[in-house]
Structure 1
Amino acid sequence: MEKIIVNCILLCVALIGYAQQPTYSQSIYTAEQLQEGDLLFYASATDNPITDVTNGFQGTLISHVSIVVKNQGKPYILEATHKGVIFQPIDSTFNRLNRRKEHIYVGRIHSKWDIKTSIDKAKRYIGKPYDFYFEPNDSAIYCSELVQLCYQDKQGHLLFEPIPMSFHDKTGKITNYWKEYYHKVGKEVPEGAPGSNPGDLSRNQKVKIIGMIL
């Protein structure tokens, strides 16, 4: 009897956890259907150092996120890449998609928020260097940090609070890749430091995955 009760409890917990996951529609979107402020999540075809230590929605290998911004009615992309924070036509995203064989999922904010202020804040980062070491409170910025710092509600509160940075695998150990990565520049791995990652954003309750771009 006790075993049955325990199993029922575990099943309920699992169902609650599943219900809390962002819903995902398999709708196909074109550039023209995107709205300002939509988030584009880039899913790699294979594991990489980022997806080894982070989790995307429903197990997808999310390694990058960018922001959709309308410019004279046309969709542009605002994102932090290794070239820094850049603003460019969305065609660049499709070129990347074809070159790297990535999938791009469309995330739409599923919460009341201040779109104009958020996008204006993000634009002010254009030209800033990329943060190769994912450190908080510096002049450089990485992809999900751009979203985390800029998206806010009507009261000026952040939509996405910082989370502890993750450089560890499923066993809880920091991977050799990240140990060597930081060792080469004489830095400590910022495990647990406040930050963000694109996979976590894709799983946030304030983001609804509404489809994908093919």
Structure 2
Amino acid sequence: MTSCRSTPVSGLENGDLLFVTAKETGLSGAINNVTRKQENASFDHIGMLEKNRAGNFVLHAAPKRGSQKQSLKDFLKDRKNDGQRVMVYRLKPQYKKAVPAAVRKANSMLGKPYNFNYILDENSYYCSDFVERAFRDNRIFKLEPMTFIDPKTGKTNAFWEEFYQKKNLKVPEGEPGCNPNGLAASDKLDRIMELK
């Protein structure tokens, strides 16, 4: 039996980008605090859809299990359990030719650990880094200088100050990187729908 509120999987395309809404607190809130670009869209995670004969999968890098291929059903269940929503963005028609190579590249990066430092590294990836790298050969996204400044205070966000202090690392202010909000703001993407 199917529900009227079932996920509109038939409307999804290979290479669609799944952006997960940010929570208000913890790491999610801290990411959003220093990266939010739009009031109506604030995200703390991103994955890329792979549609193939075996089903629908999300290629992404997450703290649990690192760089992975997860069934779309399980990906959506995890987000729902965390009280988060998933928005689908799609490359505009003139950029869609980049999708097959990006899906292949993402599959080649599976199995690498999660990058808990959020400083670019060839041996581990964080979520937006994983997606940016998948599309890098086609220059779909670009790395930007990272900022950890709280826009309300003009000072380094206290969460990030403590986060990097515990790791004995300097806050990587100005270092190249990317984040889900920055990727969602790309003029190469269209917002398509929310997955239920």
* TM-score, normalised relative to structure 2: 0.87
Instruction: Count residues in correspondence.
Output: 184
Q: For 1:62, which of 43, 47, 55 is the aligned residue?
A: 43
Structure 1 residue 190: deviation in Å? 0.7
Structure 2's unaligned 5+ residue stretches are 1-5
Which of structures 1 and 2 has the bigger CA Rg?
1
Q: Which runs of 4+ in 1 moved over 4 A?
A: none
Distance 1:164 1:74 in 2: 37
Cα 1:64–1:107 change in 2 (3 A) is same
Structure 1 residue 166: deviation in Å? 1.9
Q: Does 1:77 align with 2:58?
A: yes
Distance 2:172 2:40 in 1: 24
Q: In the alignment, which residue of structure 1 is the partner of 2:195?
A: 213
Identity over the aligned pairs, expressed in percent?
28
Alignment of 1:19-168 (within 5 A): 30-47=8-25, 48-72=29-53, 74-82=55-63, 83-110=65-92, 111-112=94-95, 113-152=97-136, 156-168=137-149
Letter in 2 for 1:70: K
Q: In the alignment, which residue of structure 1 is the partner of 2:183?
A: 201
* C-alpha contact (below 8 Å) 1:34/1:75 kept by paired residues: no
Cα 1:34–1:73 change in 2 (3 A) is farther
Structure 1 residue 145: deviation in Å? 0.5
Distance 1:41 1:179 in 2: 26
Letter in 2 for 1:117: A
* TM-score, normalised relative to structure 1: 0.80
Q: Deviations over 1:151-190 (max 9, x none)?
A: 15xxx43111111112111143211111111111110111
Letter in 2 for 1:89: S
Distance 2:161 2:39 in 1: 28
Question: SS at 1:53's partner residue?
Answer: helix
